[in-house]
Amino acid sequence: MTVIRNVQADLSRFRLRVLVASLVVVVCFGLVAARLMYLQVTRHDDLLAQAENNRTAIVPIVPNRGLILDRNGVVLATNYSAYTLEVAPSKVADLEQTIDALALLVDITPRDRKRFKKLRDESKSFESVPLRSRLTDEEVARFGAQRYRFPGVDIKARLFRTYPFGELASHVVGYIGRINPAEKEAIEESDDPSNYRGTDYIGKLGVEQSFEPQLHGITGVDAMETSAGGRATRRLTSQGATPGDTVRLSIDIKLQKLVEDMYGERRGALVAIDPKTGEVLAFVSKPTFDPNLFVEGIDHENWQLLNESPDRPLLNRALRGTYPPGSTYKPFMALAALKLGKRTPQTIINDPGFYMFGGHRFGSPENERGGQMDMRRAIVESSNVYFYSLANELGVDAMHDFMAPLGFGQITGIDIHGEVRGVLPSQAWKRQYYKRADQKKWYAGETISLGIGQGYNSFTMLQLAQATAILANGGVKHQPKLVLATQDARSRAITPRHVEPGVDLGFKPEHIKVIRQAMLGVTQTGTSRYVFAGASYLSGGKTGTAQAVSLGKNERYSATRMAERKRDHSLYIAFAPADDPKIALALIVENAGFGSTSAAPIARRAFDYWLMGQYPSEEDMTAVRVGQATAPIGTPRVAVDVPVPDEPWALAAPPALAMPSIPAASADASQLKRR
C-alpha cells in the first residue's frame, strides 16, 4: 500500500526544527558573548589584577626611621645596619635540629632561642623570624659557605635602632619595640595600614611613640616578576621608601646629663622650662633605664629587674609621678590671697609656732622663729601658720578655682603621651572620688593643710614647673613643649612646631612683683641663702618639704629613726635671673628631707650652667649627689669644654641636619644683676 506523505507538513516540521536549532545556537552564542563581555569588560580590572598578582609579587621597602636630636643637634636616637640570621619556620622540616646545627656555625645563646620562640609564636608561619642579630663578618662568611644545608634560613641586612647615650634622657626619647597584636590591630584599622607592611617595630614610649607618624616615614614597594614557583626573576617597578623626619627636641642634653648625674642613685624628677616660650630645657626622671634593651625584645631577666625594682625605673616621674608640693605651694597661695582680695602684702598674722582649728593643733616645724608675719616674711621664712589661716579664709573651692588655670591638677598638653592629672581637691572632686556617703562630705579641717601643699594636693613636677614659669613670666602661660621642629629627610625643609600664643591669666603686675620679690628673699636671706651664696645672678626660689607618709597624732618626725623610703621629700621651685627670667624649674628628690639641703643645690648648678656656662667640679658633683652641698665648691669647669656625654661611642650630629641656631647656655653675664 502506497503511503502518500504530506510534504507541506514535513516541510513545516523541518523549518520548525531549523528555527529551534538556530535559536539554541543564537542563545548559546549570546551566552558566550555575554560571558566574554562580563569577563573582558565588567571584570577586566579584577582579573587583570589577579593575573598581575600571579605574575608579580609586591615587596615592601621599610623606610629608615627618623633621627631624634637635642636642641643643639646632638643625636639621641639613630639607626645602623647589621646582618641578621633569619628562619622561615614553614620552610624548615625540623626546627630544633636546624637551630642546633646553626649553633655550630653561629653563636646562638639561650636568650636568642627564647626570643626566637616568642617571636615565632607572635608571627605568621610563613614569615621569617630573626634568630640571631648583629652577625659578625666572620659569622656571615661561615654561614654563607654552608647555606645550601639550610633551606628556609637566610641572612638579611636590617636597620637597627640605637640610643647612643643609653640611659640618658630615656624617659623623654623613649624606645621602639616589636609590634604587638594590639598595635597590629590598631594599624589594620587605621587610615593607611599598608604603610606598616614589612615593619616590625613601632615607638613605645616618649617621643618615639608620640611622634611615630613623623619618625616612621612612608613605606616603599618593589614590584617583582615571579616564576610559576614563586621565585623572583626581575624587578618591574620600584617606588622607594621615604625616610622618617628628623625630630629636634628642646632639651639640652648637656643640662639633662648634668642634672641626672647630680641625682646620682637617688630618686626624683626635675623639669626646667623657658618661661617665655614653654620650651622644656630638661626633663629628668630618676632612676632611668637603657632603651637599647627593648629594641630587639627585652629578655625576661632584664624585664623582671626593671618591672619589679622598688625604684620603679620605668615610671616617668616628671610626667606621671604625683607628689604633694609642700611649701613650694605657698607663693601661689599668697598670689591667690592678693588676687581674691583676702590679704594685702602688709597684712600681719601672728605665728606662735602652731595653729589651732577645731580643737586640733597644726604645727609649724619649718619656722622656728615665729612672730609677726607679713606676706613677704611668711614666704621667706616659710611660715605654716600664715598659710594655715589663709587656707581657712579662702576655702577649698576658691583655692581650686584659682589654682586650676595655673595648671595644678590639669593636663598641661605637653607633646608626649602618658601625662596624668594629679589631684587639685574641691568639694565636687571629693563627692565624685569617694563612694561612701560619709567620705563624700568635705570637712573644714581638711582645708587647713591644703594651704601648705599637703592634704589631698598631689601634682606632677611638670605642673609645678609650669606654674613657676607662669609666675616668672608675669602671669603669661605657655603650653610646655619638648619638640621644636621636624626636618624632612629628603628636602631638608624644616617645619617648626605650631606654637599657641601665650595666655595672659590676668594677674596684676604689682601682685606678681610682690611674690617674685618674696621668692628673691628666699635665696638672699631665707631657706636657700647658703645654696645661692656667691652667685653672680639673682634668682627667686622656694624650698619645700613634703611628707611621704602620715605621722600619728603624738608622733614627731625624725629622719634618722625612719626607714629611708618613709622620709620626707625634698622640693624646690625657682627662676633666674630674677629681673628677666630665662629658666624656671621645679624638682623633687624623694625621701631626701629638707628642700634646702638636697633639691636647691641641684637647681643652683642647673642655673650656673644655663646662665653662666659653668659646669660643676667633680668634687662639687660628689657633694651634691649625697646631699651634702650648699654653694658650689672647687673650680667650676667651662661647660663647652665638658664632653656630653664622654662615652667613646657618642655620636655627633651630621652637618646636613643643621637647623637654625637656638640659644643654649650662655657665658655672657653682663646683663645679670649682681648680688
Query: Counting beta carbons within 10 angstroms of the beta carbon of residue 322, is it exposed (0 to 12), middle (13 to 18) or buried (19 or more)?
Result: middle
Comparing C-alpha atoms, which of 216, 178, 176 is closest to residue 200?
A: 178
Question: Which residue type is seen at 225?
Answer: E
> Cell 569577563 appears where?
39
Per DSSP, the residues of 655-672 read: GGG------------TTS
Between CA 200 and CA 295 the distance in angstroms is 11
Interacting residues of 63 by C-beta distance below 8 A, sequence separation 6+: 216, 217, 218, 219, 220, 241, 242, 243, 244
Stated length of the chain: 675
Contact 382, 526 (CB under 8 A): yes
Residue 417: Cβ within 10 Å count: 14
383 catalytically annotated? no
Choosing from 327, 389, 449, 570, which is the catalytic residue? 327
Distance in Å from the first CA to the final CA of the chain:
150
Q: Is the peptide bond before 577 cis (omega within 30 degrees of 0)?
A: yes
Contact 141, 117 (CB under 8 A): no
Interacting residues of 568 by C-beta distance below 8 A, sequence separation 6+: 545, 546, 547, 548, 557, 559, 591, 592, 593, 594
Between CA 451 and CA 156 the distance in angstroms is 63
SS3 per-residue string spanning 493-535: CEEECCCCCCEECCCCHHHHHHHHHHHHHHHHCCCCCCCCCCC
Between CA 619 and CA 641 the distance in angstroms is 17
Cα angle: 317, vertex 318, 324; to 5 degrees? 80
Q: Which ranges in 525-579 belong to alpha helices (H)? A: none
Interacting residues of 602 by C-beta distance below 8 A, sequence separation 6+: 259, 262, 263, 270, 572, 587, 589, 624
Cα 527 to Cα 462, 541, 583, 663, distances in angstroms: 23, 9, 20, 31
C-alpha cell at 85: 640570621
Residue 323: Cβ within 10 Å count: 24
Q: Which ranges in 264-383 belong to alpha helices (H)? A: 300-308, 317-320, 330-339, 375-380
**3-class state of residue 284 by DSSP:** strand
Catalytic residues: 327
